[in-house]
Amino acid sequence: MRLKITVEGKVYEVEVEVSESEPTSGVRYVETGAHVASAPIITPVINRGGEVVADESKVCRSPLAGVVSEVNVEVGQVVVPEQQLLVLEAMKMFTTITSPNEGKIKSIRVEKTNSVKQGQVLIEFE
């Protein structure tokens, strides 16, 4: 798979290999910073260690370890695909976590300033 990544205004084209043997998440996230509009959308491979859930399509997992800097939704709120759910900070970089699909928020398992691990469930959908 080829991706175009913009770093400090300069566009880089990179090639990545997608492993079919590892599960991927429906979580989409955007690295935010000086060039929000031109940042790529990346579908990460998630470390599934930790909590097992019956239906992965009903949860939003953290794509990386970090600290919650913003929570932009409430329990009961209906969200649409790619709507901003929360923002994580890791190594002075902010990552916007967006909704993988349409749904209603059942529970939010984190609060602002909480530390999270890669693969941790952040939000549950009904």
What local confidence, expressed as pLDDT, does residue 2 receive?
A: 75
More reliable by pLDDT, 124 or 12: 124
| pLDDT, averaged across the chain | 78
Domains parsed from the chain with CATH numbers: 2-125 (2.40.50.100)
Question: What six digits make up the tokens of 110?
Answer: 């984190």
Percent of the chain with pLDDT strictly greater than 90: 45
Residue indicated by tokens 């084209």: 13
Give me the pLDDT at residue 37, please: 45
pLDDT value of position 101: 87
Higher pLDDT residue, 108 or 54?
108
Integer Cα distance of 48 and 23 in angstroms: 8
CB 62 within 8 A of CB 122: yes
Tell me if 89 sits within 8 A of 115, measured CB to CB. Answer: no
Q: pLDDT tens, 45-92?
A: 444 446 777 788 889 989 899 999 999 999 999 999 999 999 999 988
CA 31 to chain centre: 10
Global pTM reads: 0.60
Judged against a pLDDT cut of 70, whether residue 28 lies above it is answered with no
pLDDT at 41: 47
